[in-house]
Structure 1
Amino acid sequence: MRRQHGLGEDFRRLWAGYTVSAAGSAVGSGALPLIALLALHASTFQVSLLAGLSAVASAAIALPLGVRIEYRRKRPVMMSADVLRFAVLASVPAAAALGVLTYPQLCVVGVVQTAASVAFNAASGAHLKALVEPAGRIRANSAFETTNWVSSSAGPPLGGLLIGVLGTTATMAVDAMSFLGSVAGIHRIRRPEPTPPARTDPPHLWRDVTAGWRHLLARRGLRVLFVNSLLFGGPVMMASPLMAVLMLRNLGLAPWQYGLALGLPCLGGVLGSHLTPALTRRLGPRRTLLLSGAGRAPWLLLLPLTPAGALGVGAIVAIDFGLLFAAGVFNPSFSTYRMDATDDAFMSRVVTSWSISSRVVQALFMLAGGVIADLLGVRPALAIAGTLCLASAFLLPWRHRRSAAVPAPRAEPAAVAPRPETAAPD
């Protein structure tokens, strides 16, 4: 591993812990709404409320955490967030086994889990920046991105198998245990953390919670990518539930065809993220970022045109494969750009602000998508989502030429000093 990546043993330990956590989370993806539906017989409104409440309430909780994380060592924050996620997720199968599981408990679990995820991501972005030398960051982010796509490909089918064999709460138990693997990986890192930045101004609530947004909006490259990420991620999440309706109801696909159409395209993300370091060396970091950002934009426009039957399945797989391949290249390129373009003393707050904005905007787009689909139909709603995704290509930093923002990786062997994550961007 060290010879292959040249990133050091500490990175390998961090990556191993993250891989365990990502695999568990992929197996347990979508478990909360499934438990609400199958175990508690919740209404459609309650299932929607569960998702919306988790996004909004967790944002309110996590927002003031960004500044606190900024001035603390990051590994204790990451491990504390993992332990908290383990505890709240494990409470669900425990309560179910005792016959005391309730809908309010699921709401609390959703809020706390999401808030802890925001805190973990805020700390891990700053930690990785300190752990990995600039020349190795594109490969480090590519490694995390590949892990995410592999987990996304294999995790949901395994989760479905566990649900069928062991019941609805089994995947939640697997997800909970995976966070202990992440704790173990982080705990094994040997290189001491750098001293966190010292606070030079007195605490001020409004200034503290808005510092991340003010920092990224003051930098044109970050500002443009921030708006681009919102305009792309919102419509993609808007299309996600609509695709289930399109495939299962409008196109009349069988459940196994639906699962196939969801799982196979993730291999595009695996391939794209794996090729990102090589593409960056060949094309340069800026061109890789721009071409992959533009390359992921037009695919959703093709979804409303998909026919019924096997041809429709093939078309959906091909469309999603193309989108996810470009996203697999873009995500580590973008994460590296943001890491290098953000001042060290603002890294946690920028990631927190970015993550919260993405979650809230995506929830609003999903709500709007449901309303539009009720009024106009699923295909017109998908066409609107595709048009907005296409527009996101114009909101890339085409004119911003900051050559130092994303250093090209060197082709060194194992010479990078071992010494500091980031998943698919929020």
Structure 2
Amino acid sequence: MSFTPGRSRWSDVGLATAARGVSSCGDFLAASALTLALQSAGAGGLAVSGLLIAATLPLVVLAPLTGRLADRVSSRTLLIGAGLAQAAICLLLAYTRHPTLVIGLVALLAAGLAVTQPVLSALVPAMVRPADLPRASALNQTAGTLGALAGPALAGVLVGGFGTRLPLLLDAASYLVLVAAGLLIRTRRGGARKTAPTTYAGEPTRPEAATATGWRLRRDPLLFAMVASLAGVFGAVGAINVIEVFFIRETLGSTTTVYGLVTGAWMLGSVLGAWVFAPLARRITDDGRLLGAGLFLLGGCCVAVLVSAAVPSAWVLMPIWLLGGVTNGGDNVLNNVLLARRVPEAARGRAYAVFGSSGQGASMAGLAMGGILLELAEPRPLVALCGLAGTLTVAAFAVPVARAARAERAAAARRDAEAPGVGAGLATPAAAR
């Protein structure tokens, strides 16, 4: 795998982290503000799910294109161009009231996110040495999670006091941070720049699933099992993203401010989980074990949702979702490290786009189902149904994940037998970008 040679560029990691955090805050600020506005105006579950689908569909549909853009076009160009476009779109959104136009602008906003997500995700491994990747991933995830934590809480306060326009204007300003990051980050990906990759003595060697130009997810059974299990669970539990606003606001009788605090509890747990499990990601050199640990943590998320169906108040829900967030954050770090280890550097933009779009596509199916289910049943039993469906899905994927891990260990043993000198503390060449 290809990481930055020499020392890690922590200044670049800091800039990418700041850009991720501020833009993430703006994303969740706008989404929460629009969701609260719909719910407060008396809109039903179908309207809320329609808005959320508009914010998700471009990330799924455009993933094949944006992943290739992230690998072939300069990261500086993409961050600056997408940031300026998103700021302009959000400015228009702040002054738009017609529901059809709002949904259309939200979809355009998500198209910009479909570009910046794989660009930033693929940049981080290029900024650091392999040993520093878990820490860098935790920093990057912490920034995104803190932004997601602040966004709903700010939306709850600002919508209650000022309506939806101010949150959307703040969101427009947040995208300018992406422009600044594009100008200041020294690490580059894409474009015409080509650099020979570097591996390090003592680093576990892993096969390139394919050359950078021919990389395909299906050629790596371990990564395919990871993406399939995540997509399956997201599809099973994804309806909770529509149901939660009605569960917290109506079933539990909470204010918009409490809604923001409760949803923020999960985000805060994700921050804690990222740092708790980052050392584990660094110590586990067996990719199969890393995948198994991630699936176990994913099961913890689903159990937290299942247990939350029984709470009598939003305040009791907070610690449960905090623990669910811890397992969610740990799973995210483990997955990011596994993906960076196994994908050729020049194909990581596509890999992160495929990884993200698979989960988001499955979540979109859950969003649509959530809107339909809310027309048929009360929120509390639906929360229980989401948690149970997710837990059973994790259990169903345990066998194929274990099978993929065993196959990977067998393949590694064959490689070691065929090349006894590899892995004995010697640096080995990797395929050029």
| Range into which the TM-score falls when normalised by the shorter chain | 0.7 to 0.9
Tell me which of 133, 140, 153 is aligned to 1:137.
133
1:197 shift after superposition: 8.3
Following superposition, the deviation at residue 90 of structure 1 comes to 1.2
Runs (4+) of structure 1 exceeding 6 A deviation are 211-214
In 1, Cα distance between equivalents of 2:49 and 2:142: 30
Q: What does residue 207 of structure 1 align with?
A: none
Name 1:187's counterpart in structure 2.
Answer: 183
Q: Which 10-residue stretch deviates more, 255-264 or 65-74?
A: 255-264
1:291 aligns with 2:293: yes
Task: Give the letter for the 2:264 counterpart.
Answer: G
- The match for 1:246 is 247
Counterpart AA for 2:312: G
Q: 1:285 to 1:27 in 2, by over 3 A?
A: farther
Which residue identity lines up with residue 357 of structure 1 in the other structure? Answer: S
- The Cα offsets for residues 86-145 of structure 1, whole Å up to 9 and x where unpaired, read as 11001122x35xxxx433321221111111111111222332332322222211111011
Closer, same or farther: CA 11–172 of 1 in aligned 2, 3 Å: same
In the superposition, the TM-score normalised over structure 1's length comes to 0.77
Number of aligned residues: 380
How far apart are residue 46 of structure 1 and its match? 4.4
| Letter in structure 2 aligned against 1:177 | A
Q: Which consecutive unaligned segments of at least 5 residues does structure 2 have?
A: 1-6, 195-211, 414-433
1:214-266 deviations in Å (ceiling 9; x for gaps) = 71122111100011110222233212332333344444556555444323343
Q: Which residue of 1 aligns with 2:330?
A: 329
Matched residue SS, 2:56: helix
> What is the rounded CA distance, in whole Å, between the counterparts of 1:301 and 1:212 in structure 2?
40
The match for 2:20 is 18
SS where residue 31 of structure 2 aligns? coil
Name the SS of the counterpart of 1:190 in structure 2. Answer: coil
Q: How far apart are the structure 2 equivalents of 1:164 and 1:369?
A: 25
1:277–1:360 distance in 2 versus 1, CA, 3 Å:
closer
Q: Distance in 2 between matches of 1:377 and 1:35?
A: 21
Q: 1:249 to 1:354 in 2, by over 3 A?
A: same
Matches within 5 A, 1:14-163: 14-34=16-36, 45-57=46-58, 59-93=60-94, 95-96=95-96, 101-163=97-159
Change (3 A) 1:304 1:254: farther
Kept in 1: contact 2:305–2:324 (CA 8 A): no
1:213–1:108: structure 2 CA closer, same or farther, 3 Å change rule?
farther
Cα shift at 1:26: 3.5
Confirm or deny: 8 A CA contact 1:81 1:119 kept in the other structure.
yes
Aligned 1:287-366 pairs, distance under 5 A: 287=289, 289-301=291-303, 303=305, 306-307=309-310, 309-310=312-313, 313-314=315-316, 316-366=317-367
Q: Aligned to 1:106, what secondary structure does the other structure show?
A: helix
Q: Residue type of the partner of 1:309? A: P
CA distance in 1, matches of 2:239, 2:28: 20
In 2, are the aligned partners of 1:293 and 1:326 still within 8 Å (CA)? no
Change (3 A) 1:90 1:43: same
1:113 and 1:137 map into 2 onto residues whose CA distance is: 30
Root-mean-square deviation over aligned CA pairs: 3.4
SS at match of 1:309: coil
